[in-house]
């Protein structure tokens, strides 16, 4: 099934605000709460890992419920609507904290952090489950997810640039920029965007599958692990994602305390802008040599670039910028290709079970993404705290070395392991076409 550009655009739009909040939450928020609000860095690390354990429960539940939900709006749209409203509200409170301290501040941060991630799940799982349902064509899926993930990268780029643009606007109004003001402005910009773009997607997109499976939750989730291609894919993806989340969490610390240069946001802009510019190239490469091989090449490029980052020191801003550019060139492929491969795996599941169970798979996929992010944030911040990190001052040698290891070397090792695992993934374009033919024959 071929999709119009208008439909691809409508489906892709919510990815922009969902990505926009990702950078502030994963990159800016920990440092904002440690250095400006005064919350202990280890406490933040523990809470961020705890909320991902919470996600491990809610993700498959929301996926299961969205698979089974009947109604005139479809299986996915009611959850997208509720999730968008709840997520927008959570952002307003988390980004604009009250003047609290001690246990009251810890409770406030923890409550709204859990609320944000819950509603993020409520919108994200059904939204991502909607994608594989819109088309079964092997390459059309890559095109659809390129639209979606292109907007995701654009949103990430916007989020990375937000502090710089906000400071410029505040300075133009002759006001004094500060972290509280920056986060307040981001909240009032991003929250309405989530609601507007999500509701346009609901209005425009027509769901194509509607079925009420009688399968129990525990049986449905466990049966997913009988899908060998999915196990290979999600294992490689989780390891690779963990490696990429470490530098995402620690880039502000690395730039300030290892390179000792200002404006880390500029390097984020280079990384994400490069990612979106190279995205069309990766789509063409995947059409020529296949999704798996293209993904392996992108991870290899990322590994080579980040290996060099380990050896940098104070003042090496230019060399770091070049390596960030090289690493960013493979960033888009790491987003689009695993999602497109996953959609093919869901077709294989339909062949095995006779059911469309996108929600279950997207739920487990989301757990993998969030678990890798949680471990990246939690382990990174905890190890940094144990190494002696002290905010707003020069760091000791042990802390600087820990930053080098976590920011550069560990991600390289993760990518190498992910490459070795994904080599065993078996579904090619030819095999996927046979899967679709077998599904049609079984339906007859």
The string of DSSP codes covering 155-176 is HHHHHHHHHHHHHHHHHHTT--
The mean pLDDT of 31-45, rounded to a whole number, is 86
Residues 6 or more apart whose CB falls under 8 angstroms from that of 173 comprise none
Range of the domain at 183: 5-443
Residues 6 or more apart whose CB falls under 8 angstroms from that of 187 comprise 91, 92, 95, 96
Sign of CA dihedral 130, 134, 136, 139: negative
Distance CA 234, CA 225 (A): 10
For 378, phi and psi rounded to 5 degrees? -65, -50
Residue-wise pLDDT tens digits, 257-311: 889 887 777 887 888 888 888 988 998 999 899 999 999 999 999 999 889 999 9
Q: What is the CATH number of the domain that holds 201?
A: 1.20.1250.20
Report pTM. 0.72
How large a percentage of the chain has pLDDT more than 90? 27
Does residue 78 surpass a pLDDT of 80?
yes
Based on the structure, what is the number of domains in the chain?
1
Residues 6 or more apart whose CB falls under 8 angstroms from that of 5 comprise none
Q: How confident is the model at residue 118 (pLDDT cuts 50, 70, 90)?
A: very high
Does residue 55 surpass a pLDDT of 90?
no
Does residue 251 surpass a pLDDT of 70?
yes
**Residue 56, Cα to own-chain centre: how many angstroms?**
15
Q: How confident is the model at residue 192 (pLDDT cuts 50, 70, 90)?
A: very high
The mean pLDDT of 120-141, rounded to a whole number, is 83
Which stretches does DSSP call E strand in 90-167? none
What is the predicted pLDDT for the residue at 1? 60
């Amino acid at each position: 099934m071929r999709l119009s550009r208008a439909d691809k655009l409508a489906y892709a739009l919510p990815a922009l605000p969902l990505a926009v909040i990702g950078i502030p939450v994963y990159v800016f928020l920990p440092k904002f709460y440690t250095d400006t609000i005064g919350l202990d860095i280890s406490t933040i690390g523990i809470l961020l890992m705890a909320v991902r354990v919470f996600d491990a429960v809610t993700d498959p539940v929301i996926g299961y419920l969205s698979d089974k939900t009947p109604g005139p709006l479809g299986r996915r749209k009611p959850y997208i609507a509720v999730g968008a409203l709840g997520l927008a509200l959570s952002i307003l409170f988390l980004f604009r904290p009250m003047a609290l301290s001690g246990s009251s501040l810890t409770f406030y941060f923890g409550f709204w952090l859990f609320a944000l991630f819950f509603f993020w799940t409520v919108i994200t799982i059904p939204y991502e489950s909607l994608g594989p349902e819109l088309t079964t064509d092997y390459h059309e899926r890559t095109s659809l997810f390129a639209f979606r993930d292109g907007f995701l990268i654009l949103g990430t780029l916007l989020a990375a640039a937000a502090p710089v643009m906000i400071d410029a606007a505040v300075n133009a109004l002759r006001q004094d920029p500060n972290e509280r003001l920056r986060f307040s402005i981001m909240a009032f910009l991003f929250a309405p965007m989530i609601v507007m773009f999500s509701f346009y997607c609901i209005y425009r997109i027509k769901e194509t599958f509607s079925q009420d499976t009688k399968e129990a939750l525990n049986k449905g989730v466990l049966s997913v692990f009988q899908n060998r291609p999915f196990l290979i894919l999600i294992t490689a993806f989780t390891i690779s994602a963990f490696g990429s989340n470490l530098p995402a969490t620690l880039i502000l610390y690395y730039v300030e305390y290892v390179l000792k240069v200002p404006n880390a946001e500029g390097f984020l802009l280079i990384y994400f802008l490069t990612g979106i510019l190279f995205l069309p190239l990766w789509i063409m490469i995947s059409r020529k040599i296949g999704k798996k091989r293209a993904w392996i090449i992108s991870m290899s490029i990322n590994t080579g670039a980040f290996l060099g980052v380990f050896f940098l020191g104070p003042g090496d801003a230019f060399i770091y910028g070049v390596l960030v550019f090289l690493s960013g060139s493979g960033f888009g492929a790491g987003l689009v290709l695993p999602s497109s491969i996953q959609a093919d795996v869901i077709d294989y599941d339909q062949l095995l079970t006779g059911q469309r169970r996108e929600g279950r798979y997207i739920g487990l996929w989301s757990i993998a993404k969030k678990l890798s992010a949680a471990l990246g944030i939690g382990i990174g911040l905890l190890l940094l705290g144990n190494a002696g990190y002290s905010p707003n001052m020069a760091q000791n040698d042990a802390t600087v070395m820990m930053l080098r290891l976590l920011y550069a070397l560990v991600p390289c090792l993760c990518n190498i392991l992910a490459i070795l695992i994904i080599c065993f993934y078996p579904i090619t374009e030819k095999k996927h076409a046979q899967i679709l033919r077998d599904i049609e024959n079984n339906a007859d």
